[in-house]
Amino acid sequence: MKLKLKLPGAGGFKGKGTSGRKLLKQAKRVVGYVGLFVFVFLFAAWLSIPTEAIAWRIGHEARKAGYAIDVGDVSISLFGGATLHEVTWIYDPSRPGQIPENFYLEEVDVDVSLLSLLIGRLSIDVETAIDDATITASYTSSSSNATIQVEVNDLPLYEVPKLRQSVNAPVTGLFGLKVDLAMEENKWVNAEGTIELSCTECAVGDGETLVYVPGVKSGLLAEGVTLPEIEFGTLKGTLRVAKGVAATEGLETTSKDLQAKISGAMSLKDPFKKSRVDFQIKFMLTDALLEKSEKLSFVLKTVDKRARLEGDEEGWLAYSLYGSIGRPRFLPHKAKSAVDKRRERREKARKKADDKAKKKRQKDAKKKAKKPAKKPVKPTVTKDDKKDAMDRNGAASPREEPKDEPKEDEAKDDSKEEDATDRPALPPEEPEGEESAEQGSEAGDTGESDDTQAGGEGGGEGGGEGQDDGATAAEGEEPPRGD
């Protein structure tokens, strides 16, 4: 007996396999249609992007930030990149009556990372070229910090923005810059990092064109002076940035025409255009250079005494470059700027106020030391206070139970009795006194007889007693009566 076992194969599931392949084909067809639709939509949207409007918007935002920048057109790629065409930066003239110049770039490539945008970060890379020089920049920003990297290699010195316009004379050489900064909270005042500067084979002047020193407002340098070509050699140095302050390190050069040193610091502010510089520039011209130009030698002899150094640096000149980064000023290092003068006035006023307050405190302390201490004042207790206290304690008030005092009439009688006992007894009054007094008065008037005069004297005595009695009655006491 033979048993045959037939295993199921592809043919056993022929119907089910066919339906699965059909389902897969349909899914692929749907995905293809969706992808094609998305591609067409994106392509149409890309074609309809108003690039000129975007270019205008970029220039508008730059002007709001304080920079006169124009963008001719913008081309945008499907992968987040963009190219700015015909970028022109127009900066303000350095002196009155000067024609504004501009900094022109034919193309600027800008790459925005879409992946960084998805995770909440902004990452932008910028690249451009001028002649044989390359300029690259990178900016990364998040909610907590930001980083900036800039690198400039072999940029012709005459292409450096505003430099040629500021000095008004031909400049030659190759400029280099490397910036690496990290900023907490996206603020310049919190910047940390380094800034490296270099200028290779730099020179200024041609012996014909007037040379101006940026920031000078008076003197021959403000009016311009013709200088021969002055070679600066190779200038290199570093600015170390800590807490928003960039301090110089070894920024100096030496050539056959001069020696120069730059020291000081730059304070970074928000926005960046409010940053301030405070540098001191020291230089000494060589005898070989002075022999080439009599006018330069004359300028050196008539230079401001406040710019001359003494001691070990005798023969050197020093100037201060200070102010805003957009409009710095150039002064002899011993000269006081307007800011320094205002600071001195404030310090003098503050010192004067402190001295006045100190003298007043000392005067008050002396008065307090001379003044005797006050004795403690005993509280005065009135009768009403006593009455209220007695009422609260349940006792009778002294006004309710007055002391027994003798009456006024009784007091007078007692005094009369005391006077009566002390005085001697007088004889009894005669009723004829009045008549004799009258007779005495008549006799005094007529002058008839001596008897009458004697009666008058007797009447006069009687009248005198009457007066004494009247005085006694006026005093409130009665004359004593005979027993």
Say yes or no to pLDDT of 419 above 70.
Answer: no
Q: How many CA atoms lie within 13 A of 285 on its CB side?
A: 20
Look up the pTM and report it.
0.61
What is the band of 273 on the pLDDT scale with cuts at 50, 70, 90?
A: confident
Please state, in angstroms and as integers, the Cα–Cα distance from residue 263 to each residue in 215, 273, 429, following that order.
Answer: 17, 21, 135
Q: Which tens digits make up the pLDDT trace of 103-126?
A: 889 999 999 887 777 888 889 999
Q: Which residue has the higher pLDDT, 403 or 55?
A: 55
What is the predicted pLDDT for the residue at 246? 95
Q: What is the mean pLDDT of residues 357-381?
A: 76
Weakest mean pLDDT among 134-138, 312-316, 332-336: 332-336
- Strand ranges (DSSP E) for 26-156? 68-76, 81-90, 102-112, 122-130, 133-141, 145-156
Output the six-digit token pair for 287.
């005898």
The full DSSP string for 369-388 is: HHSPPPPPPPPP--HHHHHH
Q: What is the mean pLDDT of residues 148-163?
A: 88
Output the six-digit token pair for 162.
């505003």
